[in-house]
Amino acid sequence: MKAFLILEDGTVFTGTSIGSTKDVISEIVFNTSMTGYLEVLTDPSYAGQAVVMTYPLIGNYGITSDMESKKAWPDGYIVRELSRIPSNFRSEGTIQDFLKEQDIPGIAGIDTRALTKILREKGTMNGMITTNENYNVDEIVPKLKEYRVGDVVTVTTCSEKEVLPGDGPKVALMDFGAKNNIARSLNNRGCEVTIYPAHTSAEEIIESHPDGIMLSNGPGDPETNVSIIKEIKKLSETDIPIFAICLGHQLMALAHGAKTYKLKYGHRGGNHPVKDLSNNRVYISSQNHGYAVDASTVDADVAKEAFVNVNDGTNEGLAYIGKNIFTVQFHPEACPGPQDSGYLFDRFIDMMNNREEK
């Protein structure tokens, strides 16, 4: 069955329908990872977006247990070619069947490199995936321009708290759309991790007497999370060590008066170089974000830049002055991606242990 991708600038790509056949309007973004497509599909940060995979062959190792949440989150999936027969001893099915089970419409057989060039040159834009051959571009484009991602943190967060037992420090993980590997990375280091819904009050977190607080990744425009930002501000006024990743990094910055802005086409992939300004070492990182903190709006008396993106100089992390708080824009838990910056979890644990000894 034919499928069509219609962009808000009027560009139309024709390919083959994969997954669900329903129509969908979404923000179209691209990911440059060569592997890890299942982790991409199950990353809650993609809620409200349709993902273009720039690597030309997707699905060659099928569907495995490497899921970052209990379901898939993108509105749509766009690939050059889907592998017809997966080959991996861990494979439990095909990506085609997975997309159908998850009710995610997609399109295969289009020139994803050409599509990516359009998104890089003109910036991220909205689009529609449809199997309706009688589509009317003039009627669809205004609808595309009206689309907004909305409150996707509320959609992706957990409904009730969950505890992962451990013998080490107790960590309160705020779930703004967290990937499983954040909790797993802490739990594997011995931490007892309690995962809290995004709208949990600061008072409830503080009263649980955690040794540390983790603010997770998540989807959408950080500035829309007004009530959450107020609670994060309260948490930051305690002496509890806080480590924040991606959306959590942005929310902490907003809580301290800084500003965020939308990147032209975002950073999504497993090969983004970031420099740790404390030692001038460069690490290859996994990233998935469309917004960034404007470093020029960060009060120098409140925080200093800790990491920068080597490619474009954008802010990749902050260290808060006089506080046990540090935040990063990239994903030290990776999945998919390199493990270069996993040491940051160890740094967080050291912060918690040092506080206990005082």
Distance CA 13, CA 30 (A): 15
Are 168 and 210 a contacting pair, CB within 8 Å?
no
Classify the C-alpha dihedral 141-143-145-147 as positive or negative.
negative
The closest of 123, 40, 117 to 74, measured between CA atoms, is 40
- Is 291 among the annotated ligand-binding positions? yes
Distance CA 242, CA 253 (A): 13
Q: Does the annotation flag 220 for ligand binding?
A: yes
Whether 331 is catalytic: yes
250 assigned to a ligand binding site: yes
Q: Which residues 6+ apart lie within 8 Å of 162 measured at CB?
A: 194, 195
74, 51 contact by CB (below 8 A)? yes
- The residue to which tokens 């909205």 are assigned: 126
Pick the catalytic residue from 27, 272, 331, 335. Answer: 331
Return the structure tokens found at 265: 């086409």
Whether 247 has a binding-site annotation, put simply, is yes
Among 27, 316, 333, 335, which one carries the catalytic annotation? Answer: 333
CB 330 within 8 A of CB 307: yes
**Is residue 333 annotated as a catalytic residue, yes or no?**
yes
From 27, 39, 68, 246, the catalytic residue: 246
Helices 343-357, 180-187: axis angle to 10 degrees equals: 50
How far apart are alpha carbons 100 and 167 in whole angstroms?
A: 41
> Which residues are catalytically annotated?
246, 331, 333
Return binding residues for L-glutamine: 45, 218, 220, 247, 250, 288, 290-291
Return binding residues: 45, 218, 220, 247, 250, 288, 290-291
